[in-house]
Amino acid sequence: MSEQSLPTLPMWRVNHIEPSPEMLALCANGPIHRVRFPSGHEGWWVTGYDEAKAVLSDAAFRPSGMPPAAFPPATVILGSPGWLGSHEGSEHARLRTIVAPAFSSRRVKLLAQQVETIAAQLFDTLAAQTQPADLRRHLSFPLPAMVISALMGVPYDDHAFFAGLSDEVMTHQHESGLRSAARLAWEKLRAYVRGKMRDKRQDPGDNLLTDLLAAVDQGKATEEEAIGLAAGMLVAGHESTVAQIEFGLLAMFRHPQQRERLVGDPSLVDKAVEEILRMYPPGAGWDGIMRYPRTDVTIAGVHIPAESKVLVGLPATSFDPRHFEHPEVFDIERDENPHLAFSYGPHYCIGMALARLELKVVFGSVFQRFPALRLAVTPEELKLRKEIITGGFDEFPVLW
């Protein structure tokens, strides 16, 4: 393929629900594709399930936060001390071990009743609004923000402040002006965390900030690493789940038979959440996770030179027919669902248990509380937040 004929990689989803025809056409031509990225750089896009797992578990590939000099990271958060994607090997394992207990299945189970209480309160708040109401403002945004605030030990009243900074940090930063604004936002967020950690010296508790202070005192992390870990968790802990609640609801609206099955059999909620994760993985508006090979590699017969840009297309892997029967069908009773929504290998998402809990609470009760819940506009009228890596919508107006 000549340089002139290289396909430019567009957004994975162009109409909120189905993958774009261009994306599916590329996927059908094999598991690895040479493409031109929107930044203008050439590279490879991995869409095959097995091939994605191979890349994500291969130590020959640098993580997204450690790109070669020719490829600036998509956001300023990548490359920052403490952000897990900016470390690898033993350094990554050391930092991950520090925060892992806060997101363990045991710790998350202890949060379950608190998450259910938060959801019930937000349902009441939504029900009290004049219709149509913005579900993003009253449910999908505040729920993850309130949960991560409680887990970390920061005041929920600060959520608008740190969420605004988070949005700036997670904006695509191809332009220098955007990168400068994002860098300033990231430093403001780190300063906020630094202040809250200082407060925890006087008022410790059962929360992540206190855990991080203990790690610093024990010599397991530097103060800058601890601040970066906390700021990163604050960003990642609420951004992605917001979008998944909205995409999941949109899928249920578009597939009323699936919704009826869930309402008729609440025990299907676990499978329903896994299907939402498969079809709309975290950052569903984005195309995947970047990796950079240190040496020449060959995957599925495709030679990839060292220092190349390789995008692992996590959304695309969910449509690999070698692993998913009728992958284009949204089916909440799917039995085999080994999706890669939370990535794979040493950098798999550390917050996956918490994300699953939040989604199960929402989808296990929202239609019981609002049996007639529906969009107040057509799906095409929803404005996708394309400039934000984690996706979602500007507004999600609903009636009930």
Task: Sheet with 289-293: list strands edge to edge.
Answer: 32-36, 42-46, 310-312, 289-293, 61-62
According to DSSP, residue 208 is labeled H
What's this model's pTM, rounded to 2 decimal places?
0.92
Q: What average pLDDT does the segment 25-54 reach?
A: 89
Helix (H) or strand (E) holding 32: strand 32-36
Distant-in-sequence, close-in-space partners of 351: CB < 8 Å, separation ≥ 6: 103, 233, 236, 237
What pLDDT does residue 206 have?
87
**Residues written for the chain:** 400
What is the average pLDDT score of the chain?
88
Write down the pLDDT at residue 11. Answer: 64
pLDDT, tens digit, for every residue of 122-160?
Answer: 999 999 999 999 999 999 989 998 999 989 999 988 988
299-355 confidence digits (pLDDT tens): 999 999 999 999 999 989 999 999 999 998 999 999 989 999 999 999 999 999 999
What is the three-state SS of 211-250?
HHHHHHHCCCCCHHHHHHHHHHHHHHHHHHHHHHHHHHHH
Q: Is the pLDDT of residue 220 over 70?
A: yes
pLDDT per residue as tens digits for the range 68-94? 888 876 677 777 788 888 899 999 999
Residue type at 245? I
Domains of the chain (ranges, CATH numbers): 3-399 (1.10.630.10)
DSSP output for 357-388: HHHHHHHHHHHHH-TT-EESS-GGGS-B-TTB
